[in-house]
Amino acid sequence: MIRRFEEKDAEEVSALIAKTLRTTNRKDYSEEYIEKEVRVLTPAYLTKRSKWMHFYVVCEADAIIGCGAIGPYFGKEDESSLFMIFVLPEYQGKGIGRKIIETLETDEYFLRARRIEIPASITACDFYKKMGYGYKNGIAAIDDEQLYRLEKYR
């Protein structure tokens, strides 16, 4: 089941993100980089971000096993960005990430946009490419934040 994020989800979602970063992303990023991200993606930070973007969680029984968000790209009406797409390591490869993307692509922020951007981790880049996103401006290189910039035009 996929539903909108609620403030009571913040602790569990923050823990999910930390576990995923420390497990799945560790093959592509240093421990220092990952721990810096974990320190940023706190429950308070997630709650604050949920106020200006549409944040979703994937639930199985009473547990949150994935999350993802979409919001305006720097406040623009015709551009949006996908953010914080994570699936617990033990649930990866089971179609949950695809379901998150499909949900985000039916959200009003997606539907009103002509362009959608994703700041993609090295770890998730190939997944997003399979979902139809390509390198922004054809640039297949990581940026100063150690992310690829991917985009899709509608």
What's the CATH number where 101 sits?
Answer: 3.40.630.30
Token pair for residue 150? Answer: 């991917």
pLDDT tens-digit profile of 77-132? 899 999 999 999 999 999 999 999 999 999 999 999 999 999 999 999 999 999 99
pTM for this model (two decimals): 0.95
Distance (Å, whole) CA 17 – CA 12? 9
Q: Which helix (H) or strand (E) holds 86?
A: strand 79-87
Q: What is the chain's length?
A: 154
Write out the residue range of the structural domain in which residue 72 sits.
Answer: 2-153
Split into its structural domains, the chain has a count of 1
pLDDT at residue 75, as a whole number:
84
pLDDT tens-digit profile of 65-88? 999 999 999 888 899 999 999 999
